[in-house]
Amino acid sequence: MTALTAPPGERPVLHDHWRSSASYRVRIALNLKDVAFDRAAVDLVVGEHRRHDHLELNPQGLVPVLQIDGLVLTQSLAIIEYLEETRPGPPLLPGDHAARAHVRALALAIACDLHPVSNLAVLARVEALAGAEARAAWNRDNIAHGLQAVEAMLDHRGSTGRFCHGDRPGMADCALIPQLYNAARWQVPIDHLPRLSAIADACAFHPAFTAAHPAHFNPSREAKIVRGDSS
């Protein structure tokens, strides 16, 4: 097996870390697309993402990695786009071109702007430079400001319904819900953000979202599957 190929015709395998936001996004998307998959856990805390076998799959040393259709795919939004293109129903993007651009913008605002400065490597560097209190303050401020911007982005012509766009969950919701999980973990309130709060409520009991929740994959089994989990 090379970094760009995988055995064709086999059940998809998702290499992920249980609490990784990017992995969580892909689990939701796979569930929404009703794609059954196996999971290969990668423990970021102990550095399994830097092992030779994982680097052969993803030279960046990141998760998630999805082996599917004889391919090895990386980058969560690229994986979700691949699922959308190869398994069109149910759709994760709306049919209208302008709406599709807006949904992608919401997902990118979270995945490319908000999340990267809160990932494990960045937080570890902040703590090394300035201490644990600075790490917590950095992350809470970043999450709060990022979610405030996403709330404003949701106030957009045509952005109505129970989810980020309309009454069916899609790509933006796949990105948003893991970030709201992180907000709860870091005790960042969202009560003052009515659109985000309503979307969180809409997703809270949707089977694709509940089945993807990190609590199901926590090795210690200490997390609880409830909205507002702060484990």
Q: pLDDT truncated to tens, each residue of the chain (231 aa)?
A: 334 455 566 899 999 999 999 999 999 999 999 999 999 999 998 999 999 999 999 999 999 999 999 999 999 999 999 999 999 889 999 999 999 999 999 999 999 999 999 888 898 899 999 999 999 999 999 999 999 999 999 986 656 789 999 999 999 999 999 999 999 999 999 999 999 999 999 999 999 999 999 999 998 854 333 333 332
User: Is 66 strand, coil or helix?
Assistant: strand
- Rounded to an integer, what distance in angstroms lies between the CA atom of residue 191 and that of residue 198? 10
| Predicted local confidence at residue 202, as pLDDT | 96
- Which run of H or E residues covers position 85? helix 76-86
Q: Which residues contact 101 (CB under 8 A, 6 or more apart)?
A: none
Contact 102, 96 (CB under 8 A): no
| Predicted local confidence at residue 8, as pLDDT | 61
Residue 216: name the closest of 225, 207, 229 by CA: 225
Contact 147, 106 (CB under 8 A): no
Domains of the chain and any CATH numbers: 13-86 (3.40.30.10), 97-216 (1.20.1050.10)
| Predicted local confidence at residue 219, as pLDDT | 87
Contact 30, 87 (CB under 8 A): no
- Rounded to an integer, what distance in angstroms lies between the CA atom of residue 52 and that of residue 71? 19
- Rounded to an integer, what distance in angstroms lies between the CA atom of residue 65 and that of residue 2? 13
